[in-house]
C-alpha cells in the first residue's frame, strides 16, 4: 500500500486555499427534508404518495424490500408523514440547505493545478481551467480533447494523456463522470484519478507502467449543461437541459438514452417530467450521440480496454447488464471477479464497503445505459459503472471533506483493475 501513503501525503498539501464560497442555489432548499422509507411490500402506496404530492426522489421505490429516499419541502412534510403513518420513515436530512453548506466551494486560481483542488468543490469554468492547467504542465504527453457538444453548445471536455510510446498507439481507457448533473463527487473523483496518474508518471514506477501500457481519457463533466444548472439554479437537477416538444418539462436522462435496448419497458420513463426520461428516440440527446461517436472512434483507432461510468450514490461496483436481470454478459465471470477485487481494494483503504454485480440485479433495471451500449455495441474489453459514496446519510450532497478519501479509495479500486485486467 506504499502508493496510498504517497497519495495521502500528496493531498495533505494545505497551502493558500481561497476562502470557500456559498452558492445562491442553496437558499431554495432551506427547510427541505429528505426522508428514507423502508418500502417493504408497499411499493404502490409509496409511489402514489410521491406522485400525489409531486415529490422528487433520490431513490425511487422500485421494488418490494427496497428503500426510497424522498425529498420533501417544508410545506408538505405533515401531509407526507401522515400519508405514510405506520411505515418505517426516517429523516436523513433535516435541512438540505444546511447540508449543502458543507459542500464548500473555492474559487480556483488559474495556473495552480495542485492537490489543494481536491479540498473543495468548484464551478464548471474552474473544472475546465484545471484540465487546461494540467495539460500545460505536461504538454508533451497530454492534450485537451472534446467529444462533441451539449444541447446548449458547451463542449464535452476531457484530458487525454499517454506514455513513452506517444499518443494514440496503445489501447485506451475512458472514464465518464457527472453524467447525472447532481452527482458532484463523480467529477472530483475522476479528476483525482487523472491527476494522480499524470503527476506521478515520473516518480512512481507502477503508475508509469500503467500509462506506458494504456492511453487515458478522463471526461469529468459529460453533462455540462445540467452541471451548470445545479450550480446556478437547482442543486439536485439530474438530466441534461434539452427541450421537449409539447412539454414544459426539460431534459433527458443521458444514461437512459443510449441506442442499445432503449425500447424495452421498465428501465426508464417515457414522461418528459421524470428524472429518468429516456427521450423520444434512442440517442436523441446530443450528448449521447457525441459520446457514442467518440468511443467508436477510439475503439477503431486504438482499441478500448476499459470504460467506467462514475455515478453516486450507493457504494456499488457494477457490470453489464442493466436492461435485463437474466441476460448474461460476455466475460460475465471475469467481470464479477474484477468487480469483487475492486470492491475489496476499495474496502482495504478505509473500510468502505461496496457491493458488486450486474446492474439490474444489484440496483435496478436500467435500459439504454452507457455500460450496456459500450459493452455490446462499442465493444470495450471491460465495462463497469460505479456508484460512489455514500449509502444515503449524505447522498448527493457529500461534504467536501469526503472528496479526498473518496478519491483515495476509488483510486485503489482502479489500481486493482489496471493490475489484473488481461
> Residues with catalytic annotation?
387
Sheet bearing 89-93, strands edge to edge: 56-59, 67-72, 33-38, 89-93
Please state whether the peptide bond connecting residue 321 to the residue before it is cis, i.e. omega within 30 degrees of 0. yes
Angstrom CA distances, 156 to 259, 289, 310, stand at 19, 12, 16
Backbone angles phi, psi at 327, to 5 degrees: -65, 145
Strand pairing partners for 37?
68, 89
Question: Cell numbers of 326, please?
Answer: 437474466
Strand pairing partners for 90?
36
Q: Report helix angle 205-213 to 403-420, nearest 10.
A: 60
Contact 89, 78 (CB under 8 A): no
- What residue spans of 153-308 are helical by DSSP H? 184-199, 205-213, 224-232, 286-302
Angstrom CA distances, 369 to 204, 227, 235, 283, 412, stand at 36, 19, 23, 11, 25
Contacts of residue 202, Cβ cutoff 8 Å, sequence gap at least 6: 208
SS3 221: coil
Amino acid at each position: 500500500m506504499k502508493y496510498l501513503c504517497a497519495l495521502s501525503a500528496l493531498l495533505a498539501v494545505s497551502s493558500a486555499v481561497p476562502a470557500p464560497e456559498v452558492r445562491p442555489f442553496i437558499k431554495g432548499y432551506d427547510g427541505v427534508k429528505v426522508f428514507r422509507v423502508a418500502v417493504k411490500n408497499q411499493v404502490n402506496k409509496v409511489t402514489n404518495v410521491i406522485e400525489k404530492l409531486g415529490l422528487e426522489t433520490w431513490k425511487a421505490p422500485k421494488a418490494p424490500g427496497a428503500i426510497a429516499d424522498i425529498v420533501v419541502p417544508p410545506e408538505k412534510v405533515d401531509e407526507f408523514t401522515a400519508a405514510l403513518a405506520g411505515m418505517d420513515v426516517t429523516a436523513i436530512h433535516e435541512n438540505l440547505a444546511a447540508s449543502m453548506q458543507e459542500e464548500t466551494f473555492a474559487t480556483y486560481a488559474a495556473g495552480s493545478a495542485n492537490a489543494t483542488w481536491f479540498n473543495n468543490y468548484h464551478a464548471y469554468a474552474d473544472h475546465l481551467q484545471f484540465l487546461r492547467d494540467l495539460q500545460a504542465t505536461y504538454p508533451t504527453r497530454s492534450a485537451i480533447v472534446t467529444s462533441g457538444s451539449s444541447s446548449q453548445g458547451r463542449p464535452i471536455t476531457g484530458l487525454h494523456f499517454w506514455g513513452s510510446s506517444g499518443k494514440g498507439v496503445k489501447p485506451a481507457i475512458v472514464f465518464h463522470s457527472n453524467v447525472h448533473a447532481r452527482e458532484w463527487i463523480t467529477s472530483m473523483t475522476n479528476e483525482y484519478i487523472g491527476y494522480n496518474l499524470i503527476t506521478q508518471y515520473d516518480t512512481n514506477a507502477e503508475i508509469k507502467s500503467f500509462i506506458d501500457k494504456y492511453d487515458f481519457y478522463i471526461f469529468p463533466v459529460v453533462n455540462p449543461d445540467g452541471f451548470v444548472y445545479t450550480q446556478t439554479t437547482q442543486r439536485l437537477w439530474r438530466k441534461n437541459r434539452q427541450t421537449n416538444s409539447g412539454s414544459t418539462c426539460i431534459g433527458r436522462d443521458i444514461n437512459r438514452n443510449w441506442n442499445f435496448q432503449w425500447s424495452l419497458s421498465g428501465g426508464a420513463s417515457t414522461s418528459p417530467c421524470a428524472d429518468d426520461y429516456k427521450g423520444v428516440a434512442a440517442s436523441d440527446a446530443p450528448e449521447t450521440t457525441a459520446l457514442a461517436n467518440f468511443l467508436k472512434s477510439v475503439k477503431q483507432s486504438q482499441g478500448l480496454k476499459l470504460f467506467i461510468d462514475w455515478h453516486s450514490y450507493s457504494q456499488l461496483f457494477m457490470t453489464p447488464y442493466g436492461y435485463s436481470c437474466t441476460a448474461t454478459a460476455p466475460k460475465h465471470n471475469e467481470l464479477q471477479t474484477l468487480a469483487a477485487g475492486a470492491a475489496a481494494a476499495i474496502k482495504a483503504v478505509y473500510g468502505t464497503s461496496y457491493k458488486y454485480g450486474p446492474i439490474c440485479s444489484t440496483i435496478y433495471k436500467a435500459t439504454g445505459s452507457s455500460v450496456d451500449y459500450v459493452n455490446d455495441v462499442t465493444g470495450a474489453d471491460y465495462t463497469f459503472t460505479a456508484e460512489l459514496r455514500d449509502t444515503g446519510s449524505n447522498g448527493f450532497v457529500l461534504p467536501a471533506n469526503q472528496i479526498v478519501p473518496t478519491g483515495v479509495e476509488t483510486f485503489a479500486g482502479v489500481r486493482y483493475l489496471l493490475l489484473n485486467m488481461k
